[in-house]
Structure 1
Amino acid sequence: MTSGPTWDPGQYLQYADHRTRPFRDLLARIPAPPAPAEGLRIADLGCGAGNVTAILAERWPAAGITGFDNSPQMLATAEREHAGPTPGGGRIRFRAADAAEWAPDETYDVIVSNALFHWVPGHADSFARWIGALAPGGVFAFQTPGNFGAPSHALLTELCESPRWRDRLGGDQGRTHTLDPADYLARLVGLGCAADVWETTYYQLLPGEDPVLEWLKGTTLRPVLTALADDGAAREAFLGEFRELLRAAYPAGPDGTVYPFRRIFAVAVKP
Protein backbone atom coordinates (compact mmCIF):
# COMPACT_ATOMS: atom_id res chain seq x y z
CA MET A 1 0.00 0.00 0.00
CA THR A 2 2.87 2.37 0.63
CA SER A 3 5.35 3.00 -2.18
CA GLY A 4 8.43 0.84 -2.51
CA PRO A 5 8.55 -2.88 -3.24
CA THR A 6 7.26 -4.53 -6.38
CA TRP A 7 4.58 -7.11 -5.60
CA ASP A 8 3.90 -10.51 -7.14
CA PRO A 9 0.20 -11.43 -6.74
CA GLY A 10 0.82 -15.06 -7.69
CA GLN A 11 3.50 -15.47 -5.04
CA TYR A 12 1.38 -13.69 -2.44
CA LEU A 13 -1.64 -15.91 -3.11
CA GLN A 14 0.36 -19.13 -2.91
CA TYR A 15 -0.77 -19.55 0.71
CA ALA A 16 -4.08 -17.76 0.29
CA ASP A 17 -5.99 -19.88 2.82
CA HIS A 18 -3.48 -19.16 5.59
CA ARG A 19 -3.31 -15.48 4.67
CA THR A 20 -7.07 -14.95 4.68
CA ARG A 21 -7.82 -16.83 7.91
CA PRO A 22 -6.88 -13.88 10.18
CA PHE A 23 -9.10 -11.60 8.11
CA ARG A 24 -12.04 -13.98 8.44
CA ASP A 25 -11.43 -14.07 12.20
CA LEU A 26 -11.41 -10.26 12.25
CA LEU A 27 -14.57 -10.07 10.16
CA ALA A 28 -16.38 -12.37 12.57
CA ARG A 29 -15.89 -9.78 15.34
CA ILE A 30 -17.13 -6.78 13.33
CA PRO A 31 -20.65 -5.81 14.41
CA ALA A 32 -23.26 -4.91 11.81
CA PRO A 33 -23.26 -1.14 11.21
CA PRO A 34 -26.57 0.69 11.69
CA ALA A 35 -26.95 1.65 8.01
CA PRO A 36 -29.30 -0.42 5.82
CA ALA A 37 -27.46 -3.34 4.22
CA GLU A 38 -28.17 -2.17 0.67
CA GLY A 39 -26.69 1.24 1.41
CA LEU A 40 -23.49 0.21 3.19
CA ARG A 41 -20.28 1.90 2.06
CA ILE A 42 -17.11 -0.04 2.82
CA ALA A 43 -13.43 0.82 2.27
CA ASP A 44 -10.77 -1.90 2.12
CA LEU A 45 -7.49 -0.11 2.79
CA GLY A 46 -4.55 -2.04 1.33
CA CYS A 47 -6.75 -4.42 -0.66
CA GLY A 48 -3.86 -6.18 -2.44
CA ALA A 49 -5.06 -8.72 -4.98
CA GLY A 50 -8.71 -8.20 -4.03
CA ASN A 51 -9.27 -11.66 -2.56
CA VAL A 52 -10.04 -10.16 0.86
CA THR A 53 -12.27 -7.51 -0.72
CA ALA A 54 -14.32 -10.36 -2.17
CA ILE A 55 -14.72 -11.81 1.35
CA LEU A 56 -16.23 -8.47 2.43
CA ALA A 57 -18.80 -8.91 -0.35
CA GLU A 58 -19.66 -12.34 1.05
CA ARG A 59 -20.45 -10.72 4.42
CA TRP A 60 -22.27 -7.69 2.95
CA PRO A 61 -23.47 -8.73 -0.53
CA ALA A 62 -25.50 -5.54 -1.15
CA ALA A 63 -22.75 -3.10 -0.15
CA GLY A 64 -20.70 -0.76 -2.25
CA ILE A 65 -17.09 -1.75 -1.55
CA THR A 66 -13.97 0.12 -2.66
CA GLY A 67 -10.53 -1.45 -2.39
CA PHE A 68 -7.51 0.87 -2.20
CA ASP A 69 -3.89 -0.06 -2.92
CA ASN A 70 -0.82 1.50 -4.49
CA SER A 71 0.61 -1.63 -6.15
CA PRO A 72 -0.16 -1.66 -9.90
CA GLN A 73 0.47 -5.41 -9.95
CA MET A 74 -1.98 -6.10 -7.14
CA LEU A 75 -4.62 -3.71 -8.49
CA ALA A 76 -4.45 -5.30 -11.94
CA THR A 77 -5.18 -8.72 -10.42
CA ALA A 78 -7.93 -7.29 -8.24
CA GLU A 79 -9.62 -5.59 -11.19
CA ARG A 80 -9.43 -8.70 -13.33
CA GLU A 81 -10.62 -11.15 -10.70
CA HIS A 82 -13.02 -9.26 -8.45
CA ALA A 83 -14.24 -5.87 -9.79
CA GLY A 84 -17.85 -5.36 -10.81
CA PRO A 85 -21.37 -6.05 -9.56
CA THR A 86 -21.89 -8.75 -6.95
CA PRO A 87 -24.67 -11.37 -6.92
CA GLY A 88 -26.21 -9.64 -3.90
CA GLY A 89 -26.73 -6.35 -5.70
CA GLY A 90 -23.59 -4.58 -4.49
CA ARG A 91 -20.51 -3.54 -6.38
CA ILE A 92 -16.75 -3.91 -5.91
CA ARG A 93 -14.39 -1.31 -7.36
CA PHE A 94 -10.70 -0.59 -6.93
CA ARG A 95 -8.73 2.64 -6.78
CA ALA A 96 -5.06 3.56 -6.51
CA ALA A 97 -4.15 5.20 -3.20
CA ASP A 98 -1.34 5.28 -0.66
CA ALA A 99 -2.27 4.52 2.96
CA ALA A 100 0.31 7.00 4.23
CA GLU A 101 -1.65 9.80 2.56
CA TRP A 102 -5.16 8.43 2.07
CA ALA A 103 -7.91 10.83 3.12
CA PRO A 104 -11.46 9.51 2.62
CA ASP A 105 -13.44 11.59 0.15
CA GLU A 106 -16.79 10.17 1.25
CA THR A 107 -18.46 8.82 4.38
CA TYR A 108 -18.04 5.11 5.08
CA ASP A 109 -19.86 2.68 7.34
CA VAL A 110 -16.89 0.31 7.59
CA ILE A 111 -13.18 0.95 7.01
CA VAL A 112 -11.14 -2.24 7.20
CA SER A 113 -7.47 -3.04 6.65
CA ASN A 114 -5.78 -6.42 6.38
CA ALA A 115 -2.03 -6.97 6.95
CA LEU A 116 -1.01 -3.48 5.90
CA PHE A 117 0.02 -1.25 8.77
CA HIS A 118 3.46 -2.79 9.37
CA TRP A 119 4.40 -1.21 6.01
CA VAL A 120 3.10 2.29 6.92
CA PRO A 121 5.15 4.54 9.23
CA GLY A 122 2.98 6.63 11.53
CA HIS A 123 -0.24 4.87 10.50
CA ALA A 124 -1.79 5.32 13.95
CA ASP A 125 -1.59 9.10 13.47
CA SER A 126 -4.14 8.67 10.65
CA PHE A 127 -6.70 6.91 12.83
CA ALA A 128 -8.43 10.17 13.74
CA ARG A 129 -8.80 11.13 10.07
CA TRP A 130 -10.16 7.73 9.09
CA ILE A 131 -12.53 7.39 12.04
CA GLY A 132 -13.70 10.92 11.35
CA ALA A 133 -14.89 9.72 7.93
CA LEU A 134 -17.11 7.03 9.47
CA ALA A 135 -20.84 7.46 9.84
CA PRO A 136 -22.15 7.35 13.43
CA GLY A 137 -21.97 3.75 14.60
CA GLY A 138 -19.45 2.96 11.87
CA VAL A 139 -16.60 0.50 12.35
CA PHE A 140 -12.84 0.76 11.87
CA ALA A 141 -11.19 -2.68 11.98
CA PHE A 142 -7.78 -4.05 11.13
CA GLN A 143 -5.36 -6.90 11.64
CA THR A 144 -1.62 -6.60 11.27
CA PRO A 145 1.32 -8.99 11.67
CA GLY A 146 2.99 -8.89 15.05
CA ASN A 147 5.70 -11.49 14.51
CA PHE A 148 8.70 -9.27 13.86
CA GLY A 149 10.67 -10.82 16.70
CA ALA A 150 10.34 -14.24 15.08
CA PRO A 151 13.45 -16.08 13.83
CA SER A 152 12.41 -15.52 10.21
CA HIS A 153 12.56 -11.76 10.61
CA ALA A 154 15.53 -11.64 12.95
CA LEU A 155 17.55 -13.79 10.54
CA LEU A 156 16.57 -11.58 7.62
CA THR A 157 17.77 -8.49 9.46
CA GLU A 158 21.06 -10.15 10.41
CA LEU A 159 21.67 -11.32 6.85
CA CYS A 160 20.91 -7.91 5.35
CA GLU A 161 23.31 -6.31 7.83
CA SER A 162 26.09 -8.84 7.19
CA PRO A 163 29.27 -7.58 5.48
CA ARG A 164 28.33 -9.13 2.12
CA TRP A 165 24.91 -7.47 1.91
CA ARG A 166 25.06 -4.41 4.14
CA ASP A 167 25.80 -1.86 1.41
CA ARG A 168 22.95 -3.06 -0.81
CA LEU A 169 20.33 -4.17 1.69
CA GLY A 170 21.17 -2.92 5.16
CA GLY A 171 19.12 -0.52 7.18
CA ASP A 172 15.57 -0.98 5.95
CA GLN A 173 14.85 -4.69 5.76
CA GLY A 174 12.86 -6.44 8.45
CA ARG A 175 11.69 -3.23 10.08
CA THR A 176 8.18 -2.88 11.41
CA HIS A 177 5.88 0.00 12.16
CA THR A 178 3.43 -2.10 14.18
CA LEU A 179 2.48 -0.91 17.66
CA ASP A 180 1.80 -3.05 20.72
CA PRO A 181 -1.85 -4.05 21.28
CA ALA A 182 -2.08 -1.82 24.35
CA ASP A 183 -0.96 1.17 22.29
CA TYR A 184 -3.64 0.51 19.67
CA LEU A 185 -6.25 0.22 22.42
CA ALA A 186 -5.19 3.50 23.96
CA ARG A 187 -5.27 5.28 20.59
CA LEU A 188 -8.72 4.03 19.67
CA VAL A 189 -10.29 4.64 23.09
CA GLY A 190 -8.68 8.06 23.11
CA LEU A 191 -10.59 8.84 19.92
CA GLY A 192 -13.85 8.08 21.67
CA CYS A 193 -14.42 4.63 20.20
CA ALA A 194 -15.57 1.45 21.88
CA ALA A 195 -12.58 -0.76 21.09
CA ASP A 196 -11.80 -4.46 21.14
CA VAL A 197 -8.10 -5.31 20.71
CA TRP A 198 -6.55 -8.76 20.91
CA GLU A 199 -3.74 -10.94 19.56
CA THR A 200 -3.49 -14.51 18.31
CA THR A 201 -0.60 -16.75 17.30
CA TYR A 202 -1.42 -19.14 14.45
CA TYR A 203 0.69 -22.29 14.33
CA GLN A 204 0.60 -22.65 10.58
CA LEU A 205 1.53 -26.00 9.07
CA LEU A 206 2.91 -25.12 5.65
CA PRO A 207 3.32 -27.77 2.94
CA GLY A 208 5.97 -28.00 0.25
CA GLU A 209 9.70 -27.46 -0.01
CA ASP A 210 11.13 -24.46 1.85
CA PRO A 211 7.64 -23.12 2.59
CA VAL A 212 8.76 -20.42 5.02
CA LEU A 213 10.98 -18.95 2.32
CA GLU A 214 8.12 -19.15 -0.18
CA TRP A 215 5.81 -17.46 2.32
CA LEU A 216 8.28 -14.64 2.93
CA LYS A 217 8.88 -14.16 -0.81
CA GLY A 218 5.24 -13.11 -1.02
CA THR A 219 5.51 -10.39 1.64
CA THR A 220 8.49 -9.65 3.88
CA LEU A 221 11.11 -10.31 1.21
CA ARG A 222 9.52 -7.99 -1.36
CA PRO A 223 11.89 -5.06 -0.60
CA VAL A 224 14.93 -7.37 -0.93
CA LEU A 225 13.69 -8.93 -4.15
CA THR A 226 12.93 -5.49 -5.54
CA ALA A 227 16.38 -4.18 -4.61
CA LEU A 228 18.06 -7.17 -6.31
CA ALA A 229 15.68 -7.38 -9.27
CA ASP A 230 18.35 -6.30 -11.78
CA ASP A 231 21.01 -8.68 -10.52
CA GLY A 232 19.85 -12.26 -10.85
CA ALA A 233 23.07 -13.77 -9.53
CA ALA A 234 22.99 -11.67 -6.37
CA ARG A 235 19.31 -12.44 -5.89
CA GLU A 236 19.89 -16.19 -6.06
CA ALA A 237 22.93 -15.96 -3.80
CA PHE A 238 20.96 -14.06 -1.17
CA LEU A 239 18.03 -16.47 -1.35
CA GLY A 240 20.43 -19.42 -1.09
CA GLU A 241 21.94 -18.07 2.13
CA PHE A 242 18.57 -17.20 3.59
CA ARG A 243 17.16 -20.61 2.64
CA GLU A 244 19.78 -22.42 4.70
CA LEU A 245 19.14 -20.19 7.72
CA LEU A 246 15.40 -20.80 7.50
CA ARG A 247 15.83 -24.57 7.13
CA ALA A 248 17.73 -24.64 10.40
CA ALA A 249 15.26 -22.35 12.20
CA TYR A 250 12.14 -24.09 10.86
CA PRO A 251 12.97 -27.75 10.24
CA ALA A 252 10.54 -29.69 8.08
CA GLY A 253 8.52 -32.42 9.75
CA PRO A 254 6.71 -35.42 8.29
CA ASP A 255 3.50 -33.39 7.84
CA GLY A 256 4.99 -30.04 6.79
CA THR A 257 6.78 -27.11 8.40
CA VAL A 258 5.35 -25.29 11.41
CA TYR A 259 5.54 -21.51 11.07
CA PRO A 260 4.13 -19.66 14.11
CA PHE A 261 2.63 -16.31 13.17
CA ARG A 262 1.42 -13.72 15.69
CA ARG A 263 -1.30 -11.30 14.58
CA ILE A 264 -2.75 -8.18 16.23
CA PHE A 265 -6.44 -7.33 15.79
CA ALA A 266 -8.58 -4.30 16.53
CA VAL A 267 -12.24 -3.42 16.08
CA ALA A 268 -13.35 0.11 16.96
CA VAL A 269 -16.93 1.39 16.86
CA LYS A 270 -17.56 5.11 16.46
CA PRO A 271 -20.15 6.63 18.79
Structure 2
Amino acid sequence: MSDWNPALYTRFEEERTRPAAELLARVPLASAGSVVDLGCGPGNSTELLVRRFAGAKVIGMDSSPAMLVSARERLPGVLFEQGDIATWSPPAPVDLLYANASLQWLPGHEQLVPRLLSLLAPGGALAIQMPDNLDQPSHVSMRETAAEPRFAASIGDAGQVRARILPAEQYHDLLSREAEVDVWRTTYYHPMADAAAIVQWLRATGLKPFLEPLSPALQAEFLAAYQARIEAAYPQRADGQRLLAFPRLFIVARKKA
Protein backbone atom coordinates (compact mmCIF):
# COMPACT_ATOMS: atom_id res chain seq x y z
CA MET A 1 0.00 0.00 0.00
CA SER A 2 1.01 3.62 -0.40
CA ASP A 3 1.87 5.68 2.67
CA TRP A 4 -0.63 6.40 5.45
CA ASN A 5 -2.20 9.79 6.13
CA PRO A 6 -1.49 10.92 9.72
CA ALA A 7 -3.86 13.91 9.52
CA LEU A 8 -6.76 11.70 8.46
CA TYR A 9 -5.89 9.12 11.13
CA THR A 10 -5.81 11.64 13.97
CA ARG A 11 -9.22 13.16 13.20
CA PHE A 12 -10.60 10.58 15.63
CA GLU A 13 -7.56 10.41 17.88
CA GLU A 14 -9.45 10.25 21.16
CA GLU A 15 -11.48 7.26 20.00
CA ARG A 16 -8.41 5.51 18.58
CA THR A 17 -6.31 6.13 21.70
CA ARG A 18 -8.87 4.79 24.17
CA PRO A 19 -8.25 1.09 23.37
CA ALA A 20 -4.50 1.78 23.39
CA ALA A 21 -4.79 3.11 26.94
CA GLU A 22 -6.99 0.21 28.03
CA LEU A 23 -4.50 -2.28 26.61
CA LEU A 24 -1.66 -0.60 28.48
CA ALA A 25 -3.64 -0.57 31.73
CA ARG A 26 -3.62 -4.39 31.72
CA VAL A 27 0.15 -4.74 31.18
CA PRO A 28 1.39 -6.36 34.43
CA LEU A 29 4.78 -4.61 34.65
CA ALA A 30 5.68 -2.33 37.54
CA SER A 31 8.66 -1.03 35.58
CA ALA A 32 10.45 -1.60 32.29
CA GLY A 33 13.90 -0.78 31.00
CA SER A 34 13.16 -1.25 27.30
CA VAL A 35 9.84 -0.72 25.52
CA VAL A 36 9.05 -0.94 21.79
CA ASP A 37 5.86 0.37 20.18
CA LEU A 38 5.35 -1.85 17.14
CA GLY A 39 3.37 0.09 14.55
CA CYS A 40 3.51 3.36 16.48
CA GLY A 41 1.58 5.42 13.90
CA PRO A 42 1.60 9.16 14.69
CA GLY A 43 2.90 8.54 18.23
CA ASN A 44 -0.35 8.70 20.21
CA SER A 45 0.26 5.22 21.65
CA THR A 46 3.97 5.88 22.15
CA GLU A 47 3.10 8.89 24.27
CA LEU A 48 1.15 6.61 26.61
CA LEU A 49 4.18 4.35 26.97
CA VAL A 50 6.51 7.26 27.73
CA ARG A 51 4.17 8.45 30.48
CA ARG A 52 3.73 4.99 32.01
CA PHE A 53 7.39 3.96 31.96
CA ALA A 54 9.32 7.10 32.87
CA GLY A 55 13.02 6.51 32.45
CA ALA A 56 12.62 3.53 30.13
CA LYS A 57 14.22 3.40 26.71
CA VAL A 58 11.12 3.72 24.51
CA ILE A 59 11.37 3.16 20.76
CA GLY A 60 8.58 3.66 18.24
CA MET A 61 8.70 1.62 15.05
CA ASP A 62 6.51 1.93 11.96
CA SER A 63 6.71 1.16 8.25
CA SER A 64 5.19 4.52 7.27
CA PRO A 65 7.55 7.47 6.70
CA ALA A 66 4.64 9.93 7.02
CA MET A 67 3.53 8.47 10.34
CA LEU A 68 7.11 8.62 11.63
CA VAL A 69 7.41 12.30 10.69
CA SER A 70 4.25 13.01 12.68
CA ALA A 71 5.45 10.92 15.63
CA ARG A 72 8.83 12.69 15.77
CA GLU A 73 7.11 16.07 15.78
CA ARG A 74 4.90 14.93 18.64
CA LEU A 75 7.67 13.33 20.73
CA PRO A 76 11.02 14.84 19.71
CA GLY A 77 12.84 13.16 22.60
CA VAL A 78 11.87 9.62 21.55
CA LEU A 79 13.69 7.43 19.04
CA PHE A 80 11.50 6.42 16.09
CA GLU A 81 12.66 3.90 13.49
CA GLN A 82 11.27 2.68 10.19
CA GLY A 83 10.84 -1.06 9.99
CA ASP A 84 8.66 -4.06 9.22
CA ILE A 85 7.13 -5.87 12.19
CA ALA A 86 7.21 -9.13 10.25
CA THR A 87 11.01 -9.18 10.15
CA TRP A 88 12.04 -6.81 12.97
CA SER A 89 14.23 -8.03 15.80
CA PRO A 90 15.79 -6.02 18.64
CA PRO A 91 19.52 -6.15 19.37
CA ALA A 92 18.70 -7.54 22.85
CA PRO A 93 15.57 -8.93 24.54
CA VAL A 94 13.09 -6.23 25.58
CA ASP A 95 10.74 -5.86 28.54
CA LEU A 96 7.61 -4.79 26.64
CA LEU A 97 6.52 -5.23 23.05
CA TYR A 98 3.36 -3.22 22.50
CA ALA A 99 1.37 -3.57 19.26
CA ASN A 100 -1.77 -1.44 19.17
CA ALA A 101 -3.90 -1.83 16.02
CA SER A 102 -0.99 -2.93 13.86
CA LEU A 103 -0.75 -6.73 13.66
CA GLN A 104 -4.10 -7.10 11.86
CA TRP A 105 -2.35 -5.89 8.70
CA LEU A 106 0.15 -8.76 8.81
CA PRO A 107 -0.44 -12.39 7.75
CA GLY A 108 0.89 -15.54 9.37
CA HIS A 109 0.01 -14.92 12.99
CA GLU A 110 0.66 -18.58 13.79
CA GLN A 111 4.37 -17.81 13.32
CA LEU A 112 4.43 -14.06 13.98
CA VAL A 113 2.95 -13.97 17.48
CA PRO A 114 5.18 -16.69 19.01
CA ARG A 115 8.19 -15.04 17.34
CA LEU A 116 7.37 -11.73 19.02
CA LEU A 117 7.05 -13.48 22.38
CA SER A 118 10.51 -14.99 21.86
CA LEU A 119 12.00 -11.48 21.61
CA LEU A 120 11.08 -10.69 25.22
CA ALA A 121 13.28 -10.88 28.27
CA PRO A 122 12.10 -13.36 30.95
CA GLY A 123 9.15 -11.77 32.74
CA GLY A 124 8.58 -9.37 29.85
CA ALA A 125 5.18 -8.69 28.29
CA LEU A 126 3.68 -8.79 24.82
CA ALA A 127 0.60 -6.55 24.51
CA ILE A 128 -1.57 -6.69 21.38
CA GLN A 129 -4.81 -4.98 20.37
CA MET A 130 -6.43 -5.63 16.99
CA PRO A 131 -9.69 -4.59 15.34
CA ASP A 132 -11.96 -7.63 15.05
CA ASN A 133 -14.56 -6.01 12.85
CA LEU A 134 -14.56 -7.78 9.48
CA ASP A 135 -18.09 -9.05 10.07
CA GLN A 136 -19.44 -5.61 11.05
CA PRO A 137 -21.67 -3.72 8.57
CA SER A 138 -18.83 -1.22 8.08
CA HIS A 139 -16.59 -3.88 6.56
CA VAL A 140 -19.24 -6.09 4.96
CA SER A 141 -20.32 -2.95 3.08
CA MET A 142 -16.76 -2.39 1.90
CA ARG A 143 -16.62 -5.86 0.36
CA GLU A 144 -20.09 -5.55 -1.14
CA THR A 145 -19.17 -2.23 -2.74
CA ALA A 146 -15.85 -3.59 -3.99
CA ALA A 147 -17.65 -6.51 -5.62
CA GLU A 148 -19.62 -4.20 -7.93
CA PRO A 149 -18.36 -4.75 -11.49
CA ARG A 150 -17.22 -1.14 -11.94
CA PHE A 151 -14.80 -1.55 -9.01
CA ALA A 152 -14.02 -5.26 -8.99
CA ALA A 153 -11.83 -5.12 -12.08
CA SER A 154 -9.38 -2.86 -10.25
CA ILE A 155 -9.71 -4.14 -6.69
CA GLY A 156 -9.80 -7.88 -7.35
CA ASP A 157 -10.96 -10.31 -4.67
CA ALA A 158 -12.33 -8.04 -1.94
CA GLY A 159 -12.28 -10.89 0.57
CA GLN A 160 -8.48 -11.01 0.39
CA VAL A 161 -7.85 -7.31 1.05
CA ARG A 162 -7.31 -7.93 4.77
CA ALA A 163 -6.74 -11.33 6.32
CA ARG A 164 -8.84 -12.39 9.26
CA ILE A 165 -7.20 -12.50 12.64
CA LEU A 166 -7.26 -15.79 14.52
CA PRO A 167 -9.90 -16.80 17.09
CA ALA A 168 -9.10 -15.68 20.63
CA GLU A 169 -8.66 -19.29 21.75
CA GLN A 170 -5.94 -19.85 19.16
CA TYR A 171 -3.88 -16.91 20.41
CA HIS A 172 -4.16 -18.40 23.91
CA ASP A 173 -2.86 -21.72 22.61
CA LEU A 174 -0.01 -20.08 20.69
CA LEU A 175 1.27 -18.27 23.77
CA SER A 176 0.21 -20.15 26.90
CA ARG A 177 3.04 -22.69 26.96
CA GLU A 178 5.59 -19.90 27.38
CA ALA A 179 3.53 -17.16 29.02
CA GLU A 180 0.67 -16.24 31.31
CA VAL A 181 -2.02 -15.08 28.90
CA ASP A 182 -4.92 -12.65 29.30
CA VAL A 183 -7.29 -12.45 26.31
CA TRP A 184 -10.46 -10.38 26.06
CA ARG A 185 -12.71 -8.76 23.50
CA THR A 186 -14.39 -5.36 23.81
CA THR A 187 -16.95 -3.75 21.53
CA TYR A 188 -16.85 0.05 21.51
CA TYR A 189 -19.88 2.01 20.36
CA HIS A 190 -18.64 5.30 18.94
CA PRO A 191 -21.25 8.07 18.50
CA MET A 192 -20.80 9.56 15.04
CA ALA A 193 -22.52 12.64 13.65
CA ASP A 194 -23.69 11.00 10.44
CA ALA A 195 -22.85 8.39 7.81
CA ALA A 196 -20.24 10.69 6.27
CA ALA A 197 -18.36 10.77 9.59
CA ILE A 198 -18.25 6.97 9.66
CA VAL A 199 -16.81 6.98 6.14
CA GLN A 200 -14.19 9.54 7.17
CA TRP A 201 -13.18 7.37 10.13
CA LEU A 202 -12.70 4.36 7.87
CA ARG A 203 -10.92 6.22 5.07
CA ALA A 204 -7.86 6.41 7.33
CA THR A 205 -7.68 2.65 7.84
CA GLY A 206 -10.01 -0.03 6.50
CA LEU A 207 -11.02 1.71 3.26
CA LYS A 208 -7.46 2.49 2.24
CA PRO A 209 -6.64 -0.77 0.39
CA PHE A 210 -10.00 -0.64 -1.41
CA LEU A 211 -9.51 2.92 -2.65
CA GLU A 212 -5.85 2.73 -3.64
CA PRO A 213 -6.28 0.66 -6.84
CA LEU A 214 -8.99 3.01 -8.16
CA SER A 215 -8.67 6.13 -10.27
CA PRO A 216 -9.73 9.41 -8.62
CA ALA A 217 -13.05 9.29 -10.45
CA LEU A 218 -13.72 5.71 -9.35
CA GLN A 219 -12.67 6.54 -5.80
CA ALA A 220 -15.36 9.19 -5.67
CA GLU A 221 -17.93 6.73 -7.03
CA PHE A 222 -16.83 4.07 -4.55
CA LEU A 223 -17.14 6.44 -1.60
CA ALA A 224 -20.61 7.56 -2.69
CA ALA A 225 -21.81 3.96 -3.11
CA TYR A 226 -20.22 2.93 0.17
CA GLN A 227 -21.71 5.86 2.07
CA ALA A 228 -25.18 4.93 0.80
CA ARG A 229 -24.72 1.46 2.32
CA ILE A 230 -23.46 2.97 5.58
CA GLU A 231 -26.48 5.29 5.67
CA ALA A 232 -28.74 2.24 5.61
CA ALA A 233 -26.64 0.08 7.94
CA TYR A 234 -26.28 2.64 10.74
CA PRO A 235 -29.64 4.31 11.38
CA GLN A 236 -30.02 7.42 13.48
CA ARG A 237 -30.35 6.86 17.21
CA ALA A 238 -32.60 8.81 19.59
CA ASP A 239 -30.17 11.75 19.70
CA GLY A 240 -29.75 11.90 15.92
CA GLN A 241 -26.29 10.32 15.93
CA ARG A 242 -25.13 7.00 14.49
CA LEU A 243 -23.41 4.34 16.62
CA LEU A 244 -20.36 2.73 15.04
CA ALA A 245 -19.88 -0.65 16.71
CA PHE A 246 -16.17 -1.52 16.77
CA PRO A 247 -15.10 -4.87 18.29
CA ARG A 248 -11.43 -5.22 19.27
CA LEU A 249 -9.42 -8.21 20.49
CA PHE A 250 -6.88 -7.71 23.28
CA ILE A 251 -4.02 -10.02 24.26
CA VAL A 252 -1.50 -9.56 27.05
CA ALA A 253 1.07 -12.33 27.52
CA ARG A 254 3.72 -12.22 30.24
CA LYS A 255 6.65 -14.45 29.41
CA LYS A 256 7.52 -16.95 32.10
CA ALA A 257 10.73 -16.21 33.98
Structure 2 matches for 1:46-61, cutoff 5 A?
Answer: 46-61=39-54
User: Do residues 265 (structure 1) and 250 (structure 2) align?
Assistant: yes
- Give the match for residue 132 of structure 2: 146
The unaligned stretches of length 5 or more in structure 2 are none
- The structural deviation recorded for 1:54 is 0.5
User: Do residues 179 (structure 1) and 166 (structure 2) align?
Assistant: yes
SS at match of 1:25: helix
- Residues 195 and 234 in structure 2, CA contact (< 8 A), matched pair in contact too: no
Alpha-carbon displacement from aligned partner over 1:38-90 (angstroms, at most 9, x marks no partner): x6100110111111101111111211111111011111111111131xxxxxx
User: Do residues 232 (structure 1) and 225 (structure 2) align?
Assistant: no
Give the number of aligned pairs: 254
- Looking at structure 2, the residues matched to 239 and 217 of structure 1 have their Cα atoms a distance apart, in angstroms, of 9
User: Do residues 170 (structure 1) and 167 (structure 2) align?
Assistant: no
Aligned letter for 1:70?
S
- The structural deviation recorded for 1:226 is 2.4
Aligned letter for 1:256?
Q
SS at match of 1:139: strand
Between the aligned residues of both structures, percent identity stands at 36
- Give the match for residue 89 of structure 1: none
User: Do residues 250 (structure 1) and 243 (structure 2) align?
Assistant: no
Q: What is the root-mean-square deviation of aligned Cα atoms in Å? A: 1.6
Alpha-carbon displacement from aligned partner over 1:3-23 (angstroms, at most 9, x marks no partner): x24311111111111111111
- Looking at structure 2, the residues matched to 158 and 174 of structure 1 have their Cα atoms a distance apart, in angstroms, of 13
- Residues 51 and 82 in structure 1, CA contact (< 8 A), matched pair in contact too: no
The unaligned stretches of length 5 or more in structure 1 are 85-91
SS at match of 2:148: coil
- Give the match for residue 15 of structure 1: 12
Structure 2 matches for 1:49-88, cutoff 5 A?
Answer: 49-84=42-77
Distance 1:209 1:160, change over 3 A: closer
Alpha-carbon displacement from aligned partner over 1:79-110 (angstroms, at most 9, x marks no partner): 111131xxxxxxx2110111122222222100
- Looking at structure 2, the residues matched to 124 and 265 of structure 1 have their Cα atoms a distance apart, in angstroms, of 16
TM-score by length of 1: 0.89
TM-score by length of 2: 0.93
Aligned letter for 2:201?
W
**Structure 2 counterpart of 1:96, from 78, 82, 90:** 82
- Looking at structure 2, the residues matched to 177 and 124 of structure 1 have their Cα atoms a distance apart, in angstroms, of 12
- Looking at structure 1, the residues matched to 104 and 47 of structure 2 have their Cα atoms a distance apart, in angstroms, of 23
- The structural deviation recorded for 1:223 is 1.2
- Give the match for residue 220 of structure 1: 206
- Looking at structure 2, the residues matched to 130 and 238 of structure 1 have their Cα atoms a distance apart, in angstroms, of 37
SS at match of 2:176: helix
- Residues 151 and 218 in structure 2, CA contact (< 8 A), matched pair in contact too: no
SS at match of 2:87: coil
Alpha-carbon displacement from aligned partner over 1:131-190 (angstroms, at most 9, x marks no partner): 222111100111101111011111111111221111101215653331111111111113
- Looking at structure 2, the residues matched to 165 and 259 of structure 1 have their Cα atoms a distance apart, in angstroms, of 25
- Residues 96 and 126 in structure 2, CA contact (< 8 A), matched pair in contact too: yes
